[in-house]
Amino acid sequence: MRILLTNDDGINAPGLKVLERIARKLTSDVWVVAPEQEQSGAAHSLTLHVPVRVRKITARRHAVSGTPTDCVLLALQQIIPARKPQGREAPLKKVDLVLSGVNRGSNVGDDISYSGTVAAAMEATLLGVPAIALSQALDDDQPICWDTASAFAQTLIPELLRAGWPAGSFINLNFPACTKAAVKGVTVSPQGKRVMSVALHLRSDPRGRPYFWIGGDRDNAANGPEVDVAKLEEGFVTVTPVQMDMTDYPTLNRLKGKLKA
């Protein structure tokens, strides 16, 4: 099995080192293609207006001057070589699995729309490769429990691969902000609601010209007890299948009956 690793925290992020250790327990054929700089919040953006450069660190480790989506696109279409089939007629995929993470901070609820970590899994899915996004929740005043992600991902990833999921979907994994011993279990949960309470902070540069910092806190909206936001806060590892088809089918069918061609 060949695995591609990427993230949105950057090529030197601690979470990527954790993910490498996880991946190497699954296979020796591991490739890393990650952003040169942090790309948190980049979502599913492509770099279209400036050149994208690739820095080769080792034969199977590259840094990209672009977004997580750029990284997956370049890895699958340019950087990683094709594999020669051994005794097979059908050609092998360049990569069997894409793992994105381990993100510094959770990606549940509406985080999914903003996350570069999740977007990398989306891009892999669009390109026909199974993908899993992994994120480690944190408490701001406590050390990050990377061991929690490491311990549970090692068993969950093989289980998920055996179970399988549709070609148009990917898996979003989140690990709670607690030690592995304190984890209450693993739950398969739907996406909940967590809104980014955006704040715009106006500043002035030395020449008196205005600029803004965009920041704010996450606001956990009213959620049912079984959604990813609630379960993660309770101390569960959450597994959320996410589909790329965002069509609202009930509304689609309702509008078909009301709108005339």
CATH number at residue 47: 3.40.1210.10
Residue 241 lies in a domain: yes
Residue for token pair 């996406």: 191
Angle formed at CA 82 by CA 77 and CA 87, multiple of 5 degrees: 150
- The predicted structure's pLDDT at residue 137: 98
Q: What's the domain count of the chain?
A: 1
pLDDT value, residue 141: 85
Task: Quote the pLDDT of residue 261.
Answer: 64
> Would you state the pLDDT for residue 107?
96
The pLDDT score that the predictor gives to residue 199 is: 81
CB within 8 A of 93, min separation 6: which ones? Answer: 83, 128, 129
What is the reported pTM? 0.93
How far is residue 19's CA from residue 7's CA, in Å, rounded to a whole number? 10
* Structural domain boundaries enclosing 134: 2-193+223-258
Tell me the backbone φ, ψ of residue 191, rounded to 5 degrees: -70, 135
Per-residue pLDDT of the chain (261 residues; tens, 9 = 90+): 999 999 999 999 999 999 999 999 999 999 999 999 999 989 999 999 999 999 999 999 999 999 999 999 999 999 999 988 777 666 778 999 999 999 999 999 999 999 999 999 999 999 999 999 999 999 988 999 999 999 999 999 999 999 999 999 999 999 999 999 999 999 999 999 877 667 888 999 999 999 998 876 766 666 788 999 999 999 999 999 999 999 999 999 999 989 976
Q: What angle do CA 171, 37, 97 make, to 5 degrees?
A: 25
pLDDT value at residue 210: 94
Residue 203 within a domain: no
Please report whether residue 198 resides in a domain: no
The reply to whether 50 falls in a domain is yes
Inside any domain, residue 96: yes
Q: Tokens in use for 184?
A: 């209450």
